[in-house]
Amino acid sequence: MTWLVTGGAGYIGAHVVRALQAAGIAPIVVDDLSSGHASFVPGSVPFIEGTILHRGLLADTMRAHAVTGVIHVAGFKYAGVSVQRPLHTYEQNVEGTRVVLEAMADADVHNIVFSSSAAVYGTPDVPLVTEDLPKRPASPYGESKLIGEWLLRDQAIATASAAQPLRHTSLRYFNVVGSADPSVYDTSPHNLFPIVFEKLIAGETPQINGDDYDTPDGTNVRDYVHVGDIAAAHVVAAQRLESGESVEAAYNLGSQNGLSVREIMDAMARVTGIDFTPKIGPRRPGDPDRIVATGELAARDLDWANRYTVDEMVRTGWEARRAAH
């Protein structure tokens, strides 16, 4: 088995690459390094620097390495920024996914695991998100991920009568945190963990945006899932596709319970040994009280489980970030 990981030099993609290796599956990486880092790709893994918008490059890479499936992680992942850059978001996430599927058809590759997002749900008004909840994305990013899922669905329908129809599944998740390898860490300027880490490293005080929500401690409750668990689920999904086992069209990789921002801050102080009291800022417009997803279907089919405590999430992320200095 050889699988192409698009975006394999990024935070999540690099963890997927390592999880594939651990499972005895040979990974190949294509990444344009717009947000990834070449140093995140293990030296033993073939790495092609290039964009997923280059159909010929993708198809040639798949043929040259006898690829049997694609884990499509590459994309523009900043929901907030996507509001200011909708055309760029659609180019990278919609056109990019279309080109990946076209290249797969060219290279006779029929399995794809799509890294989707819980952003497809928007701001649901239920405490626990299930896969069949109506999709109401609230940003171009969420819309682009939902369209990506539609592209997979429609290509599967179009190839249903072929000798080898497209087999696919989409994995939806919220806030990915921590590290399963000290050489790989989250470098996003928009995610809570790296924002807090950078504040602490700079000797500044992190901020909570609103503490008057309808939650036990007044701060937002969200899904936080460890990147090691996320990567493992991608690998099991790939294995099921290649072996011909049945899969759902989409799975939530959810925590079932969620964590509040204050619980995260408390763990940050506890684990780093930096005693701080977070500043309280104003609410961010449109932030719901609680969004948490169930992971029941993924637990049934993808061996999904939350194997890390909040302290372990913080500790692994902090250690990887500190090792980067």
The DSSP string of 288-301 is -SEEEE--HHHHHH
Domain identity same for 99 and 202 = no
Domain identity same for 105 and 238 = yes
What's the pLDDT tens digit per position in 311-321? 999 999 999 99
Range of the domain at 190: 177-223+255-294+303-323
Question: At 325, is the pLDDT very low, low, confident or very high (cuts 50, 70, 90)?
Answer: low
Q: Please give the share of the chain, as a percent, with pLDDT higher than 70.
A: 99
Specify the pairing of strand 250-252 against strand 207-209. Answer: unpaired
* Residue 285 pLDDT greater than 80, yes or no: no
Domain identity same for 158 and 237 = yes
What's the pLDDT tens digit per position in 45-72? 999 999 999 999 999 999 999 999 999 9
Where are the extended beta strands (E) located within the chain? Answer: 2-6, 26-31, 47-49, 69-72, 111-115, 128-129, 167-172, 175-177, 207-209, 221-222, 224-226, 250-252, 259-260, 279-281, 290-293
Domain identity same for 228 and 107 = yes
Question: At 159, is the pLDDT very low, low, confident or very high (cuts 50, 70, 90)?
Answer: very high
pTM over 0.75: yes
- Structurally, how many domains does the chain consist of? 2
Residue 177 and residue 317 in contact, taking contact as beta carbons nearer than 8 Å: yes
Catalytic residue among 141, 173, 213, 251: 141
Domain identity same for 97 and 182 = no
Specify the pairing of strand 69-72 against strand 47-49. Answer: unpaired
Q: How far apart are the first and last CA of the chain?
A: 36
Report the distance separating Cα 55 and Cα 63, nearest Å.
12
Domain identity same for 38 and 93 = yes
User: Letter for the amino acid at 7?
Assistant: G
User: Letter for the amino acid at 157?
Assistant: I
Nearest CA to 178 out of 313, 12, 16, 18 is that of 313
Domain identity same for 97 and 137 = yes
Residue 314 and residue 264 in contact, taking contact as beta carbons nearer than 8 Å: yes
Q: What's the length of the chain?
A: 325
Domain identity same for 127 and 184 = no
Is residue 11 annotated as part of the catalytic site, yes or no?
no
